[in-house]
Structure 1
Amino acid sequence: MILIGLFDSPFTRRVAIALALAGHAFEHRAWSVGADFDRIREYSPLGRVPVLVLDDGEVLTESSAILDWLEHEHPQLGLLPATGAARREALRLIGLASGAADRGVAMVLERIFHRPEARSEAFLARGAVQVEGALAALDAARAARAGRWLVGEAMTLADITVACYATYLKDAVPADLSRWPALAAFVARCEALDVFRRHYAPFYVPKPKGAQA
């Protein structure tokens, strides 16, 4: 099994953590969508990560599709609650974190590919509102929970996703998680776990277009 993508990608990272929790050993190819675009496209025509190549050669792309496969392969893991309000809440939290991460990626790309005078400040401001709104909602959800995890009594994909995506936003946007203390404390506790530490890479910040050498 081969997992393609850098661990500074929150999408690749959440897949790696889930695979590790499921006991799947994998070869990690730390390929960048910038430097290794053509190599990635040999497996995925979009040239995006993560990409998971199964032992039989089948190729899975997009983290949600990979994790859907993993959930069905290992239902005993309880990656998501099976039914009902708990499942809806887990999906709600995943949706909030995913939307915020998508906005964060768009903001980073705006800064990288556009010279300062060509950037849309309105676009960046709108993205900041979206990111901060999602983080505030995640903070409220965490503050309302007395238990260790976001949903139920065991780690689920909601916990993995929220922690990975919040860390990405902290590193890449950057978002000051201290503004949302319940969320910040939760993320710090997850990031202290060995499985999170083993599948982490600092976010690489490319030099923005137009920056001085």
Structure 2
Amino acid sequence: MILIGQYDSPFVRRVAVALQHHGLAYEHRPWSVWANAESIAQYNPLRRVPVLVMDDGEALVESAAILDALDGLVGPERALLPPSGEARRAGLRVCALATGFADKAVSLLYEHVLRAGDHRSPVWVDRCVTQISETLDLLERERAARGGDFWLGAFSHADIAVACALRFLGEAHPSLFDPARRPALAAHAARCEALPVFAAVVQPLHVAV
């Protein structure tokens, strides 16, 4: 398998963590969506990452779809979410919230990188900040209420998605994540980042367009 994309992307990294967790061998091509856009386009015309090229040449795109395929590959006993039921719905909901605020953090980053101060949209910036902040508030309450080492009791895609999104947010917009204000999320992120599967796939944020 070939994983395309840089580990500073929370979406690429969540796939890489799952691959590490399952012990699935892969080649990593740390292509940038800007500098290597045309190379990525050979596999995904949207020029987005992650892309996971399977051994038979099939190119899987979008992190949730890739992870669903990996769960199918390793089977239900090893999958990081069950194939159906309440736990699956709960995990998918947390993943959607985490990747949702990560996506807003990416949008906010590009608003600052691609637009000079006078050309930025204050309406768009305020909207992104509100969406991120209120989602973090919700996740903080829910994580504090659950307790335990992992979100669903056992290590799952929910843990990975939240931790990867929080690392990206902390590097891209440090003012938007105050660990003292959201201690349950901060503890969750620290617990995950201490795991070898996270430490193996880490890259400081670097944006070059």
User: Do both share a fold (TM > 0.5)?
Assistant: yes
Deviation string 1:171-213 (CA, Å, 9 cap, x unpaired) is 1123224121110011011111111011010111448xxxxxx
Deviation string 1:117-143 (CA, Å, 9 cap, x unpaired) is 000112111111100111111111110
Deviation string 1:39-65 (CA, Å, 9 cap, x unpaired) is 111111111101111111111111111
Matched residue, 1:182: 184
- Give the TM-score normalised by structure 2: 0.94
Matched residue, 1:157: 157
Matched residue, 1:28: 28
Matched residue, 1:41: 41
- The amino acid across from 2:186 in the alignment is A
Displacement over 4 Å in runs of 4+: none
Matched residue, 1:111: 112
- Give the TM-score normalised by structure 1: 0.92
Matched residue, 1:211: none
Aligned residue runs from structure 1 range 129-148, under 5 A? 129-148=130-149
Residues 5 and 12, structure 2, Cα contact 8 Å, conserved in 1: yes
Deviation string 1:50-106 (CA, Å, 9 cap, x unpaired) is 111111111111111111111111222231134333222212211111110111111
Q: Does 1:201 align with 2:199?
A: no
Matched residue, 1:66: 66
- The amino acid across from 2:201 in the alignment is H
Query: CA RMSD for the aligned pairs?
Result: 1.3
Report how many residues are paired.
Answer: 206
- Structure 2 residues not aligned, in runs of 5+: none
Q: Does 1:173 align with 2:143?
A: no
- Structure 1 residues not aligned, in runs of 5+: 208-213
Moved more, 167-176 or 98-107: 167-176
What is the distance in 2 between the residues matched to 1:146 and 1:173? 26
